[in-house]
Chains A and B, each alone.
Chain A
Amino acid sequence: MAPAAALDTDVAIETPEHIVFRHKVAGPSRRFLAYLLDLVICYTAFTVVAFFVVLASIGVSAATDSAESALAAGVGLLLVVLFAIQWVYFAVLEAWVGRTPGKAALGLRVVSTTGRPIGFRAAALRNVLRAADALPLTYTAGLLSLAGFASMATTKKFQRLGDLVAGTIVVVPERASVAAPLVLWPPAQPFELAQLPDDVRLDADERQAIELFLRRRARLGRGREMELASMIAGPLAERFGLRLPDPSRVLALLYDRAANAGRVDAPPSSRTPGSWR
């Protein structure tokens, strides 16, 4: 929930259902690693094919006494494989499943700027234009190839030239596992409830800050937890008239009341006894 003008690498995509979701755009270093991995995969495959070509030509030459011819045919095959590595592998895989194995390993996916899977045409375009991105040296997913790097650096969505022409972006689609809602534990004690006002109003920033703190606090040391909590607990406790010694507890109580009071199925701790039912 970044504010509108945040310096962020998210790209917002609106669906026909008028739902907006954000994709994190992948940066050059992650894409470089994915590319490197793809190269390793491709050239390993190439080596395996080359090995079998040599084996086969030895077999053929033993049978027909024309080793040179068999080896030459194998070289022809290897050159076609080399061609496929350079020009076919990326385009076909990206059109087919949206990612190459290297991209999959780094959690990347190629989508159109409207967030849809890309077809073969866009996949082929962005990969043929790798030759333009590669200038003046060689293609390295934007790190050493100046043209691609300049393009990535000046576009908001880290698009290299091929992305720009094909209308694609490389994103990191993150699937969060569902998080358990925050529960106040131990439940609010009577003396705490007596101090809590019925209506706790926190603005969005305050709520988010407290929420992030509450989710993190289990992993913090006790001293650090107190230190962080006391940064905002003081003013908040004053605002809502709470007098409790533990700043972390103050934040938990206020958050629980703000998030749950008045809602269906609210836990007992967020109600003042007898105020409403």
Chain B
Amino acid sequence: MAVTDPQEGARRESRRLVSALTERAFAGRRQRDWDQLDSLVRAAQGKGLRTLLPEQIALLSPLYRDVCADLARAEAARYSAPLVDYLQGLAAAAHAVLYGHNRGRWSVSGGRGSSLRVFVEAFPRAVRRHKGAMLLAFLLFFVPFFAGLLATLDDPGFAVRIVPEAQLRPLVDAYKEGFSSGRATGLDAAMAGFYVNNNVGIALRCFATGLFFGLGSAFYLVQNGLSTGAIMGYVVTHGAGDNILTFVVGHGSLELGAIVLAGGAGMALGWSVVAPGDRTRVAALQATAKSVVVIVFGAAVMLFMAAAVEGFWSSSSLPAIVKRSVGGAMFVLVMAYIVLAGRGSDAAADAERAEGIDRWT
């Protein structure tokens, strides 16, 4: 509190003029407004601001401002702590209702207007904004991938050192059998559910652990790249190469792309801790997180799509030529989307400017 006693001056004045009210008189005069604001705030908290009548909403903000003034007055007049606490609680609750940001509340890119369109454009824009981190993530995944693949092709024993043999054998058997007979629909659904839970979970963890100087993301990328390469190499050396290619080509671009993008977002997060530039580390971290969060959502959506493709399409009994050409087309589409979509888009650019996201990696 202030060092000077505001009450002293008031008391001196009071011998001649009307002074501050006593606490009791003050509370007595204002209680009706407080109760009204209290009931409005409780209604808004419980059922939402939208359920209030227009005239109630119109009342809300003047009542809130009056309570703010009452709080200031109560503190200046040194009213007792419980009264000040009560007014603080009331003001805080009303503040939370009035300053809630309903517009754009569910937006992940901070955009205005059509949320879906902004998202669709903001995602590839964010990826391109962080191309350094994305390139690094790409290398961290695909260098171990090809290393694992080539090492296993050279010596199938290599895969056994990366992935337990107990996991490799059933895979080989499954791919040897092929997909000509298709799979029961129920099993398709089970596998799609598994891919959602497992793959999206891995991508999210891969992003989150990037916080530790990018080390967590790097670990997930290298580990997944190496084991994926080793598994593919192992299946190829056991004579089911055609089948596994036909299987993975449909969803591979979505699935591997999403892991790389999520890992890249994690690397960007980690880099902001390593080299925060002219901000504090926490500020740099928050700014980067704001900028990359749309990538994580995009990656999650890609993985949901991949799970559907992997569960229901890749395992179907369609001819290999159809699967391969559709898979190839998907690859081109995904690349084109990431590289080209949202260039010169006003909606997404506006959204980014509103968020204070500038071009830096």
Contact = CB atoms under 8 A, between A and B. Distances in A.
A30 interface: no
A4 to B, nearest CB: 10
Contacts of A177: 86
Interface in A123-138: 124-125, 128-132, 135
A266 interface: yes
A95 interface: yes
Interface range on chain B (Cβ under 8 Å from partner)? 35 or more
B335 to A, nearest CB: 26
Contacts of B289: 125, 165-166
B21 A165 contact: no
B194 A117 contact: no
Interface in B97-150: 99-101, 104-108, 110
A211 interface: yes
Given A83-B200, A128-B296, A175-B93, A119 B25 contact: no
Interface in B278-319: 282, 285-286, 289-290, 293, 296-297, 311
Contacts, number: 219
A238 interface: no
Given A164-B285, A179-B82, A179-B83, A124 B108 contact: yes
Contacts of A166: 286, 289
Interface in A75-126: 75-80, 82-83, 86-87, 95, 98, 111, 115-117, 119-121, 124-125
* B-side interface mostly: helix
A22 B87 CA distance: 11
A71 interface: yes
Nearest to B208: A131
B45 to A, nearest CB: 9
Contacts of B110: 121
Contacts of A111: 96
A132 B23 contact: no
Contacts of B311: 76
B26 to A, nearest CB: 8
B180 to A, nearest CB: 19
A173 B100 CA distance: 15
Given A70-B186, A119-B101, A215-B82, A178 B65 contact: no
A19 B91 contact: yes
A167 B283 CA distance: 9
Contact of A128 (B24, B27, B204, B290): B204
Given A72-B187, A263-B21, A125 B293 contact: yes
A161 B211 contact: yes
B321 interface: no
B106 to A, nearest CB: 5
Contacts of A260: 22-23
Contact of B189 (A72, A204, A263): A72
Nearest to B205: A131
Contacts of A52: none
A217 interface: no
B211 to A, nearest CB: 5
B89 A264 contact: no
A259 interface: yes
Given A19-B72, A69-B184, A132-B212, A115 B95 contact: yes
A216 B96 CA distance: 32
A132 B216 contact: yes
A64 to B, nearest CB: 11
B361 interface: no
A86 B230 CA distance: 30
A135 B216 CA distance: 10
Interface residues of A, number: 77
A266 B22 contact: yes
A117 B96 contact: yes
Given A132-B211, A176-B85, A265 B21 contact: yes
A261 interface: yes
Nearest to B11: A262
Contacts of B290: 121
Interface string B77-89: 0111111111011
Nearest to A67: B186
A41 B208 CA distance: 25
Contacts of A48: none
B184 A66 contact: yes
Contacts of B260: none
A87 B104 CA distance: 21
B93 to A, nearest CB: 6
Given A173-B93, A176-B86, A69 B285 contact: no
A254 B213 CA distance: 61
26 contacts: A1-B1, A13-B92, A15-B68, A17-B68, A68-B184, A72-B189, A76-B189, A78-B193, A80-B193, A115-B92, A116-B96, A120-B108, A124-B296, A125-B289, A128-B296, A147-B212, A165-B285, A176-B85, A176-B89, A179-B80, A181-B27, A201-B5, A203-B5, A204-B1, A215-B80, A262-B14
Interface of B: 1, 5, 8, 10-11, 14-15, 18-25, 27, 31, 34, 65, 68, 71-72, 78-86, 88-93, 95-96, 99-101, 104-108, 110, 184-187, 189-194, 196-197, 200-201, 204-205, 207-209, 211-212, 216, 269, 282, 285-286, 289-290, 293, 296-297, 311
Given A21-B88, A181-B80, A201-B8, 16 more contacts: A19-B71, A19-B72, A76-B194, A117-B100, A121-B293, A124-B293, A125-B293, A128-B296, A173-B89, A176-B89, A178-B86, A203-B5, A261-B11, A262-B19, A264-B18, A265-B22
By Cβ-Cβ distance, the 4 closest A-B pairs, closest first, are A69-B186, A76-B193, A179-B82, A265-B25
